[in-house]
Chain A
């Protein structure tokens, strides 16, 4: 099972919107609604930001949103803030009933 493909880095200025893509295959992202996104600060555990493609857990800002088209899922962060600077990972369920993560994207707030 290959890791999902994410851009290594993205950047944006405060107030702007950015989108992080997560590309898989018809054996994972393309087949299920089970795509999640995690935020991770250095030295900390990941935190769930989006699950089931576009659902936000309680307490997560509505500046974070998710979507999916075909084999590619996306995380959009609007109204970028300095505190959003972190690593972001996507995850998908697979046709083998396993899970797979993306390679991670480092978000820099300029």
Chain B
């Protein structure tokens, strides 16, 4: 069974850095073609793709957020970490991680349950 779960702070102050961890099981990020991505969803709004990391450590970011995002992986812990700097109230959202494949680039399946992060002073 493949599972992913997001963890991290649920409340962040403006200007702080957010660090989110995606812990997964049932697959390995050392396997060819496997990727893990981050997607967020502000309350009542649409999904927004943030970043992806590939099995070979290639990384890609949303052009609009690229300067603020960093994605890394720890294959020994089966974890992917996303950091987002200079948080703002508009970054309040549920943050999801999901598995995908380089052979099927938008096939996010499955998804984690999501973590609601609120940015407020």
CB pair B49 A91 closer than 8 Å: yes
Closest residue of chain A to B108, judged by CB? A48
1/0 per residue, CB under 8 A from A, across B27-59: the answer is 000000000010100000011110010000000
Q: Are B106 and A99 interface neighbours, CB within 8 A?
A: yes
How many chain A residues touch B (CB < 8 A): the figure is 27
Asked whether B109 lies within 8 Å of A48 as measured between CB atoms, the reply is yes
- Measured CA separation A104–B47 after assembly (Å): 8
A97 within 8 A of B: yes
Known contacts A98-B60, A104-B46; is A47 also within 8 Å of B106 by CB? no
B97 nearest CB neighbor, chain A only: A45
Contact B47 A89 (CB under 8 A): yes
Residue A92 lies at the interface, judged by CB distance under 8 Å to chain B: yes
Q: Inter-chain contact count A-B, CB under 8 Å?
A: 69
Look across to chain A and name the residue whose beta carbon is closest to the beta carbon of B63. Answer: A1
B60 close to A36 (CB less than 8 A): no
Contact of A101 among B46, B105, B114 (CB under 8 A): B46
Residues of B within 8 A of A103 (CB): 46
Report the nearest B residue to A45, measured CB to CB: B111
| Chain A 1-26 interface residues, beta-carbon cutoff 8 Å to B | 1, 3
Top-7 shortest CB links A-B: A48-B109, A51-B107, A45-B111, A36-B106, A99-B49, A101-B47, A93-B105
13 example contacts (A-B, Cβ-Cβ < 8 A) are as follows A1-B63, A3-B46, A3-B48, A34-B107, A35-B106, A48-B108, A52-B107, A92-B106, A97-B60, A99-B37, A101-B46, A101-B47, A101-B48
